[in-house]
Structure 1
């Protein structure tokens, strides 16, 4: 067991209080984590503000070089990093390794985008009064970014905030999830090794309610970028005032399966979409609407494939499903399953725990008001319902307070276009599950799924200010 301190101005900073960190699967004590107090959070912000003055002047190739070096260092130590994820989160090792591979790419994309922060020329003489004037725009970094990250992708979702912030020339105060601080502290060490100036990246650990409020209240914080629950996202939006915000919030992502689809060819993708990382994915496939003509075949194949998944220790090479992030999440999930059952839904596989691990669960005929349907379940639970007409399926998907991503499998081009035009989401995935994401694409939602977009280029736009320059050539 090791004691982990804060990371402020390139140095480890001890605190008066530490909290115990337990691994979700075995419940073993694995670390003592610093709890930042108000003065330490303010010190981190102050150091970030001071470092921004010089770092914002770094050339694009210098910022590129730092991010590229971090990517290379992480590649060299990818197994060590994957073990950290598996230990602190109970993410099965195969998925932890996949996350690290994505994180390496995310920092590579950030490095590349550091060289592509462009403005544009404005033809001012298009207006009569603009004759003999020349205009152009440039993008400038905002300042200190307050970043608050969730537990479910502790390396890659940190990269989606830290990467674009550094690419754009900002400094950062990062508050990682309380269950997964080791990943954030590890990457901070790699940035120091890669030559990032002290104070540009600071990591403060402790309760989100305390640190988040301090970040929101401080005048030097120019933007809050947050990934987490809609409840906390709403509170941030209410308190942020004129601070810029990017809010990546919840979802109950849905998949439509049309009648002309060979369902046997999509089962593996559906299993991955519903159950990878124990369903603890913002775009996990939570609702499936399958055409009645192919529903029975799909359900039979889906059950058989789901029952092949292996439960157990996340550090075992062949584990597919391990423990949810906390006992409270396990109990909540079981309670929601019981509610569905009491209201006429059929639990056709799973529905109970086995050695502290929730078995992947498929539910039929769940009404849309049930929590497993209308709330974000964030567990290995998926509901399957049938439809007759494609418009009915689209309407069912849209009957949600969320709108992050949705998927549709179909060989019917008009139906694909109909879905693309009418699904009320930030991203429509045609012929794949809604769980698909690559890290340079624009990613974000509508409704209660949040505001703004991530994906390196798009996050950089959120983290920079456009400035207009006009020359009078008369």
Structure 2
């Protein structure tokens, strides 16, 4: 990536603005500087907020046209986005290509939803006193949406915030992770090329002080946040009566029952445990295996994990790249002390080899904290009852996978697991971008998925008419 030129300013009023303060962005594998990105000053933030507050959305079909143009431009520049994700996020080529493909789909789905926003007729004559009245509901924009996004999906998660918010007629102020700001700027440039009106989108860079400034201002009406539970709880508290959407952490589990198709289940579990170096909220942290097939699953799963290649994400054969920083890799490495490591556990710089630990204690950090790294825990279970108890016993509730051939087992799990999504014969990390995606308990509330996010980022208004002749 040497010699590359990057967009490094804050994006305000359809232009990039440089400031006196900057933050360094590293190549996550080589641990060398890629660029320095301008940090939003109070003046820059105020201009972004003022433009957003005065933004008047165009018609839905025009918003759809803009989103489709952004999608088409992203598709035309997919290699540039892929290479940037490899460098600044540390994604292996396959993960980066998948991220770009999903972002293209998310923008396409958002464009479709921009044309479908509507309400319903209310049957007033169905109630006493309602005769002679008519009414309907309509959905209107919330106004200004602030989106605070993480490093682990710095393109697609950004599209899941910007796309539905813009589709619903809102102005959007994005504060991307300071670890991965460059891809957000490249996306913003596509919005400018596609004809997004000034004020429709701003991108402000910086750490917590920038987020605090956006929270302190009263003009935003909605906060969409993806990140840690602690940070999400703080943002939610400071938002007051303003609306929030929180997609937070997880200790995700996937269950393999004795009647599962192991030829299907095990390869899926290997992939879902270590995609993006395990830095995915729904990565398999607990692989819960019914005891009668535990030894076979253990052998085949560990063998599959041992075949994964960790290292330079720019190499075509690499399966697992670096974590977001050396400090993050050291944190996860520190969680392995005293555990039975079946494979992996070696660290070089920010790269931690794919690691499987066996039967950690119930009160261990590995089963009570979100690992958010390339580590999975193998845990034998007696039956579905134990699996449900273990998953429901965590603070979190984002998603669970279940492999079984028994329909009664599947429905029992669907009814009793307290999570946002139960995926039968898929892993906890299964996701299609059109589906509703969100959690319960400490995993947050509200949903991503363009159709569902558009409803979150708009308000329902009732209109009634009385005294009409005829």
Aligned to 1:379: 373
1:22 to 15, 22, 26: 26
Aligned to 1:8: 12
Give the 3 Å change call, closer, same or farther, for CA 238–355 of structure 1 in structure 2.
closer
2:242 corresponding residue in structure 1: 243
Equivalent position of 1:42 in the other structure: 46
How far has the Cα of 1:47 moved from its partner? Answer: 1.2
The aligned residue for residue 175 of structure 2 is 175
Q: Which SS does the other structure have where 2:335 is aligned?
A: helix
The answer for the alignment partner of 2:360 in structure 1 is 366
Give, in angstroms, the shift of residue 317 of structure 1: 1.2
1:410-421 equivalences under 5 Å are: 410-421=404-415
* Whole-angstrom distance in 2 between the partners of 1:104 and 1:29: 28
Aligned to 1:313: 312
| Secondary structure in 2 matching 1:367 | coil
Structure 1, unaligned stretches of length 5 or more? none
Cα distance between partner residues in 2 of 1:11 and 1:74:
19
Give the equivalent residue in structure 2 for 1:217.
Answer: 216
User: How far, CA to CA, are the matches of 1:136 and 1:425 in structure 2?
Assistant: 34
Aligned match of 1:396:
390
Aligned to 1:232: 231
> Which string of whole-angstrom CA distances, capped at 9 and with x for unpartnered residues, describes residues 142-168 of structure 1?
111111000001110000000001101
For residues 316 and 136 of structure 2, what CA distance do their matches in structure 1 show?
55
Corresponding residue for residue 133 of structure 1? 133
- Using the size of structure 1 for normalisation, the TM-score is 0.96
Report the counterpart of residue 427 of structure 2 in structure 1.
433
**TM value normalised by structure 2:** 0.97
Number of corresponding residues: 464
Match of 2:279 in 1: 280
CA distance in 2, matches of 1:325, 1:404: 22
Partner of 2:303: 304
SS in 2 for 1:271: helix
Asked whether the equivalents of residues 263 and 297 of structure 1 are also in contact (C-alpha less than 8 Å), the reply is no
Within 2, Cα distance between the matches of 1:325 and 1:47? 33
Are the counterparts in 1 of residues 328 and 350 from structure 2 also a CA contact under 8 Å? no
Q: CA deviation at 1:28?
A: 1.4
Question: Does structure 1 conserve the Cα–Cα contact (< 8 Å) formed by 2:222 and 2:242?
Answer: yes
Alignment of 1:123-162 (within 5 A): 123-162=123-162
1:276–1:470 distance in 2 versus 1, CA, 3 Å: same
Report matched runs for 1:324-335 at 5 Å.
324-335=323-334
> Structure 2: which 5+ residue stretches go unaligned?
none
Distance in 1 between residues matched to 2:451 and 2:178, nearest whole Å: 28
CA contact (8 A) 2:310 2:354 kept: no
Which one of the candidate residues 421, 445, 464 is aligned to 2:458? 464
Give every structure 1 segment of 4 or more consecutive aligned residues whose post-TM-superposition deviation is greater than 2 Å.
none
2:328 aligned counterpart, secondary structure? helix
My pick for the range that moved more, 435-444 or 15-24, is 15-24
Q: SS of the residue aligned with 2:129?
A: helix
**8 Å CA contact retained: 1:350, 1:362:** yes
Quick one: distance in 1 between partners of 2:295 and 2:14? Answer: 58
- Using the alignment, how far apart are the partners of 1:79 and 1:268 within structure 2? 28
SS in 2 for 1:30: strand
Say which SS state the counterpart of residue 294 (structure 1) adopts: helix
Instruction: Note if contact 1:263-1:294 (Cα within 8 Å) is conserved in structure 2.
Output: no
CA distance change for structure 1 residues 346 and 168 in 2, over 3 Å: closer, same or farther? Answer: same
Structure 2: distance between partners of 1:334 and 1:260? 34
CA distance in 1, matches of 2:172, 2:383: 49
